[in-house]
């Protein structure tokens, strides 16, 4: 990273800030002075970055000096008050520890942390922390992630001393200022950049003012004000359009529901005559089937009636034949009887036979009813002749 007028000894950056930015009374607590200086530097860095970005008029890249200085200031703010942790090789004092914890309390940061771990060429925790800041900046989520972090004092206490910026009110103010960076579009090439060996030193020259700078800045402020007014107008117009779109969506939903209800009612109204017609057709089919069944039954009964008539006629013929046969037989027997009597009368009789012949005679003829094989009444002529 290119440095702009950096002091030779990075360790004494706090004294430089104290001398250049504000003059603090000697009686004040050094920790308070450090936090105040860091807060002022953060204000200058964020304000200068926003103003220059708006006048710059295009997407910011990695080589943009105000953006480089912003990351340096953020790195110093995050390093303030870090607890020193001993390791086997050396003392460990890095900001990657608290930043890595963000993904556990804010699930949206998991993608950033995973991308940082997958980046090739990063060998140190400080390099990973710098990559994390840049990726969060491009996502426009840096303020959201750090806000989640400062709200968890129980987690921060494992990494920071009680007087650290992130543990005090100054950290909350800095995180609030970071929200303004969401208006900036940054296109940073993190892959391939040497983030491990960069020396983070604040360049105060870009924040020093002169009369020419004041005139230039004044004109720039007018331009920025106009741009911000246009931006506010566009945002307000966009808000109104979003409200109109929302109301239109509500109306569309209402109309769709009303249309669906009308379609359903129309379908029900059309379905009633169809249902009645189907019921009528079903009833007619049943009646037709019943009529066909009765017609078939009637035809069968007619056939049976014909057969019964034929049987009765046959029985009647047999009866007539039997009666004629019986009459002929009776006549023949009567004739035979008369012939026998005539022959007997011609024969000589003894006196006793005379007496017998002189007695009156009686002829009885009766019929016996017999059952025929054909279940029709038949008659058998039975002759009883008694003297």
Q: Higher-confidence residue: 31 or 221?
A: 31
pLDDT band at 184 (very low <50, low <70, confident <90, very high): confident
Q: Is the pLDDT of residue 94 over 70?
A: yes
List helix spans (H) across 61-152. 65-79, 96-100, 102-105, 110-118, 125-139, 142-150
Residue 11 is predicted with a pLDDT of: 38
- Is residue 225 helix, strand or coil? helix
Beta bridge partners of 386: 362
Residue 13 is predicted with a pLDDT of: 42
Q: Is the pLDDT of residue 309 over 60?
A: yes
pLDDT band at 12 (very low <50, low <70, confident <90, very high): very low
Most confident by average pLDDT, 87-91, 118-122, 234-238, 370-374: 118-122
Residue 132 is predicted with a pLDDT of: 93
Residue 174 is predicted with a pLDDT of: 93
Distance CA(219)–CA(222), nearest Å, equals 5
264-to-256, 258, 260, 271, 276 alpha-carbon distances in Å: 12, 10, 6, 10, 19
pLDDT band at 172 (very low <50, low <70, confident <90, very high): very high
Of the candidate ranges 69-73, 75-79, 380-384, the one whose mean pLDDT is the lowest: 380-384
Mean pLDDT of 58-66: 79
Q: Is the pLDDT of residue 201 over 80?
A: no
CB atoms inside a 10 Å sphere around CB 178: 21
pTM exceeds 0.75 for this model:
no
Domain boundaries, the chain: 10-208, 287-386
Distance CA(207)–CA(204), nearest Å, equals 5
Of the candidate ranges 12-16, 203-207, 332-336, the one whose mean pLDDT is the lowest: 12-16
Residue 3 is predicted with a pLDDT of: 37
Joined together, the tokens standing for residue 299 give 């035809």
CATH homologous superfamily for the domain 10-208: RUN domain (1.20.58.900)
Residue 29 is predicted with a pLDDT of: 83
* High-pLDDT (> 70) share of the chain, %: 71
Q: Is the pLDDT of residue 385 over 90?
A: no
112-159 pLDDT, tens digit each: 999 988 888 888 898 899 999 999 998 889 999 999 999 999 999 989
Mean pLDDT of the chain: 76
Contact 195, 188 (CB under 8 A): no
């Amino acid at each position: 990273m290119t440095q702009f007028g950096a002091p030779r000894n990075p360790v004494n950056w706090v004294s430089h800030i104290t001398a250049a930015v504000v003059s603090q009374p000697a009686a004040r607590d050094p920790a308070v002075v450090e936090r105040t200086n860091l807060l002022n530097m953060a204000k200058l860095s964020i304000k200068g970055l926003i103003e220059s970005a708006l006048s710059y008029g295009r997407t910011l890249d990695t080589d943009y000096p105000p953006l480089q200085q912003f990351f340096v200031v953020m790195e110093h703010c995050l390093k303030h008050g870090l607890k020193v942790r001993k390791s086997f090789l050396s003392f460990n004092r890095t900001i990657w520890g608290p930043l890595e914890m963000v993904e556990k309390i804010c699930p949206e940061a998991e993608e950033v942390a995973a991308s940082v771990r997958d980046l090739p060429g990063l060998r140190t925790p400080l390099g990973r922390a710098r990559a994390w800041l840049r990726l969060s900046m491009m996502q426009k989520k840096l303020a959201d992630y750090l806000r989640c972090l400062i709200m968890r004092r129980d987690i921060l206490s494992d990494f920071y001393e009680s007087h650290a910026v992130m543990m005090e009110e100054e950290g909350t103010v800095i995180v609030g200022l970071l929200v303004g960076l969401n208006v900036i579009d940054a296109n940073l090439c993190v892959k391939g950049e040497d983030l491990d060996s960069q020396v983070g030193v604040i360049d105060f020259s870009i924040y020093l003012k002169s009369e020419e700078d004041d005139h230039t800045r004044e004109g720039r402020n007018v331009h920025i004000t106009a741009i911000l007014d246009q931006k506010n107008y566009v945002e307000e117009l966009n808000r109104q359009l979003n409200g109109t779109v929302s109301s239109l969506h509500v109306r569309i939903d209402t109309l769709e529901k009303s249309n669906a209800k009308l379609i359903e009612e129309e379908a029900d109204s059309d379905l009633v005559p169809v249902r009645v017609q189907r019921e009528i057709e079903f009833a007619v089919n049943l009646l037709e089937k019943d009529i066909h069944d009765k017609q078939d039954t009637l035809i069968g009964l007619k056939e049976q009636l014909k057969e019964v008539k034929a049987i009765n006629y046959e029985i009647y013929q047999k009866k007539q034949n039997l009666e004629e046969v019986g009459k002929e037989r009776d006549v023949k027997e009567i004739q035979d009887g008369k012939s026998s009597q005539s022959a007997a009368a011609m024969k000589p009789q003894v006196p006793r036979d005379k007496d017998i012949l002189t007695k009156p005679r009686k002829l009885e003829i009766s019929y016996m009813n017999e059952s025929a094989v054909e279940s029709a009444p038949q008659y058998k002529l039975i002759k009883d002749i008694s003297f």
